[in-house]
């Protein structure tokens, strides 16, 4: 519930913040459980293993293949600025290339008004390929997004 | 001066003209589909995809179809502001400004007809300079090179992303 209900987290995501436990249950049932690859981010040295963020991989190929995969992630605001998302992204990218040998490209779209998230991708070895103008509608507004990618060749270089 | 170009909806009676570019391996090399080897297969494609599509038009020169322009929509409530434009032209008509005229007409028509449209985008293979020039001459902006973006004919392809946003200026 914590990060799902926080306005600061949801400002740059495409979900509305949870307003109550029912929203969270519905989210778990409709989004998380059927998802091809959804993971909670937890701190391994914490006294409890409560999720402090989440990370997803989504196949994007037209035919349902996994050559092109999208990554998305979020972390509770109290733990922003500690490099957690960067580590989680690195782990997820490694997992994608290991589990799905056909992956050619992992990509991420980041709202232009979210420079912290862009730095996460840059630190994790993604290349900024450009800005896609008026690409999405989020909360009623047209949004420019930056598109980043990590390709198979980057594995060897990184 | 080049012959005037117009667009109109397809009809099944256009099958023979459609066959000219759809069966041409040189044309298909730049596209995501393979050249057709059977007119029956092409007729089925016209019936199931072309005639039923919300936006798939014939490029008309001298009263005959010489190619096609189509728009693809995206799934997701957040992506209804976006369409992807694709175009194909019979080889005989390459290098005469026909595709450029057709893309310009199609872009203007799309913006006028589709009220929620804000962004028209196009993906072109990195090596297909002629097609990139078509978009640039119309007034599309090159936004970047997307590495390993598509898989086509057994290889991964780098694609250049172009866009025309509602309010952008046409250059022709």
**pLDDT of A49 higher than 90:** no
Give the pLDDT confidence of B23-51 residue by residue, as tens digits: 999 999 989 899 999 999 999 999 999 99
Q: Is residue B146 part of a domain?
A: no
Residue B143 near chain A (CB below 8 Å): yes
B149-160: pLDDT as tens digits: 999 999 999 999
Chain B nearest-CA distance from A4, in A, is 19
Give domain A7-157's CATH architecture.
Answer: 3-Layer(aba) Sandwich (3.40)
Tens of pLDDT, residues B119-161: 999 999 999 999 999 999 999 999 999 999 999 999 999 999 9
Helix (H, G, I), strand (E, B) or coil at A156: helix
Spell out the long-range contacts of A35-39 with Cβ–Cβ below 8 A and sequence spacing 24 or more. Answer: A37/A95, A37/A96, A39/A92
| Residue contact A134–B165, C-beta within 8 A | yes
Mean pLDDT of A41-58: 86
Q: Determine contact: B163 vs chain A, CB below 8 A.
A: yes
Q: What are B89's two structure tokens?
A: 């032209």
- Both ends of chain A: CA-CA distance in Å? 35
pLDDT in tens, B60-116: 999 999 999 999 999 989 999 999 999 999 999 999 999 999 999 999 999 999 999
Report pLDDT digits (tens) over A72-116.
Answer: 999 999 999 999 999 999 999 999 999 999 999 999 999 999 999
Lowest mean pLDDT among A24-28, A106-110, A120-124: A24-28
- Reported ipTM: the value is 0.94
Q: A142 and chain B: CB distance < 8 Å anywhere?
A: yes
CATH number at residue B86: 3.40.630.30
Q: Is A155 a residue whose pLDDT tops 90?
A: no
Map out the domains of chain A as residue ranges: 7-157
Backbone φ and ψ of A83, nearest 5°: 80, 10
Q: Total structural domains in chain B? A: 1
What is the domain range of residue B49? 5-120
Under the banding of pLDDT at 50, 70 and 90, the label for residue A24 is confident
Residue B115 inside a domain? The answer is yes
Per the domain annotation, does B125 fall within a domain?
Answer: no
**B-chain residues near A130 (CB < 8 A):** 143-145, 161
The verdict on residue B19 lying in a domain is yes
At how many degrees (to 10) do helices B98-113 and B129-138 cross? 50
Judged by CB atoms closer than 8 Å, whether chains meet at B148 and A129 is answered as no
Q: Within a domain: residue B165? A: no
Residue B1 has pLDDT above 60, yes or no: no
> What pLDDT digit, counting tens, does each position of A145-154 carry?
999 999 988 8
- φ, ψ of residue B96 to 5 degrees: the values are -120, 10
């Amino acid at each position: 519930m914590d990060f799902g209900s926080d306005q600061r987290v949801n400002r740059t995501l495409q979900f509305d913040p949870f307003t109550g436990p029912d929203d969270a249950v519905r989210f778990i049932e409709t989004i998380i459980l059927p998802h091809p690859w959804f993971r909670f981010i937890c701190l391994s040295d914490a006294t409890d293993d409560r999720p402090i963020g989440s990370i997803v991989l989504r196949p994007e190929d037209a035919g349902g293949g996994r050559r092109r995969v999208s990554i998305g992630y979020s972390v509770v605001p109290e733990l922003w600025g500690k490099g957690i998302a960067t580590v989680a992204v690195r782990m997820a990218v490694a997992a994608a290339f290991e589990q799905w040998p056909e992956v050619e490209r992992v990509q991420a779209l980041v709202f232009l008004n979210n420079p912290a998230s862009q730095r996460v991708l840059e630190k994790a070895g993604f290349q900024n390929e450009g800005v896609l103008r008026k690409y999405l509608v989020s909360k009623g507004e047209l949004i420019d997004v930056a598109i980043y990618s990590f390709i198979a060749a980057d594995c060897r270089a990184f | 001066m080049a012959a005037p170009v117009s667009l109109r909806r397809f009809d099944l009676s256009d099958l023979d003209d459609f066959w000219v570019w759809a069966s041409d391996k040189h044309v298909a090399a730049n596209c995501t589909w393979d050249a057709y080897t059977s007119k029956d297969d092409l007729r089925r494609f016209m019936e199931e995809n072309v005639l039923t599509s919300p936006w798939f038009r014939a490029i008309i020169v001298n009263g005959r179809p010489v190619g096609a322009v189509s728009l693809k929509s995206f799934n997701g409530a957040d992506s209804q502001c976006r369409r992807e434009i694709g175009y194909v032209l019979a080889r005989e008509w390459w290098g005469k400004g026909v595709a450029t005229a057709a893309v310009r007409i199609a872009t203007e028509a799309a913006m006028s007809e589709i009220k929620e449209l804000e962004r028209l985008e196009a993906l072109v293979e990195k090596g297909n300079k002629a097609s990139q020039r078509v978009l640039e001459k119309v007034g599309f902006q090159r936004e970047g090179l997307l590495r390993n973006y598509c898989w086509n004919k057994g290889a991964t392809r780098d694609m250049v992303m172009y866009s025309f946003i509602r309010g952008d200026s046409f250059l022709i």
